[in-house]
Structure 1
Amino acid sequence: MADSAETRKLVYLVTGGCGFLGEHVVRMLLQREPRLYELRVFDLHLGPWLEELKTGPVQVTAIQGDVTQAHEVAAAVAGAHVVIHTAGLVDVFGRASPETIYEVNVQGTKNVIEACVQTGTRFLVYTSSMEVVGPNIKGHPFYRGNEDTPYEAIHRHPYPCSKAQAERLVLEANGRKAMWPGCTCW
């Protein structure tokens, strides 16, 4: 990438930016991305810690929104160079219905993909889950894998089923219109 004023000023969007993983991604970007001009944090529930970030050299924009609402996602994605999609519903206590988990994890991911394609956002990073690759049928550990590593997993619960389905959607979207090949992070 050429070192011009335009390439130094990047806009990132982190969906689920106030969740456990999202907050760490937000803080890491602020510390380590020298070309960061604006960091958009999109979440259903905005954390009070975001206020402290608004006093730094990077413009931090907090956007309260719902990934299941396509128009809200599209508005947040518009103008972003990179989208890091960490939003998801993790239900370790079994309190959410399978339909709600699907709506957030699968439909929410569809909305993010479509918004990226429609607005010309070229880079989408999707954070999946280790539950997608395990437990595998043979009980073997999963080492040094990536999107192309074959694995046989048993998905008996809504969360890993939804994350596996969303992961497939992201991989199928590689190269669509303006998107460059994306990546899936476990």
Structure 2
Amino acid sequence: ARHIEAKATLQVADLVPTAGPLDNDVADPVAELDRRCVWLEVPGFGDVYCRCVGDPVDGELLLFVHGSGPTNSSTFWNDVVWELAVRDHATPYYMVAIDCPGYGRSPGDRQTIRSLPGQFLTAVVNALGFRQALCLIGSSQGACSVFNATLENPAITRHVTVVHPVGHDVFRYSAIKQPCLLIFDTEDAGHPVK
């Protein structure tokens, strides 16, 4: 097991802006959304590319994890994050969509998110300056990783949202105690519902 040191608070200096902050993204017509792309140093896992919206100091963390398709990356969540960002919420959110290791711009081994989901996602949450996410949100294989991370470290999140979860031995997920929202599109041929 790896030892992960949690930061008390995220300092802006801890985030390294990328050369093209809105590359593969849409231009923000609303500047106060504070949308940016950054490199996050995740202890034990290296650099992780993140698309961030909101205030890391005042916002509750929503962490988005993409699936394992060959072209999947944090851009999968662009529309969802945008829709959440432009709405008025009683609680401010700090939304972070990551490129898992080996996907998008993040270097590393693609098996990390499958083999070490609890350690990796806990390290990401901690590197962002949080002890717990308000919600872990995953799609496809990312949903399976969110489920497995929640089983491995129940304190990682207060809520779970998954879109088209895949995985083996799905009955083990019944041990998850957090409120879960499961979303399926019955017409998605890539994720058949039985």
Higher helix fraction (1 or 2): 1
TM-score scaled to structure 2, two decimals?
A: 0.43
Structure of greater Rg: 1
Higher strand fraction (1 or 2): 2
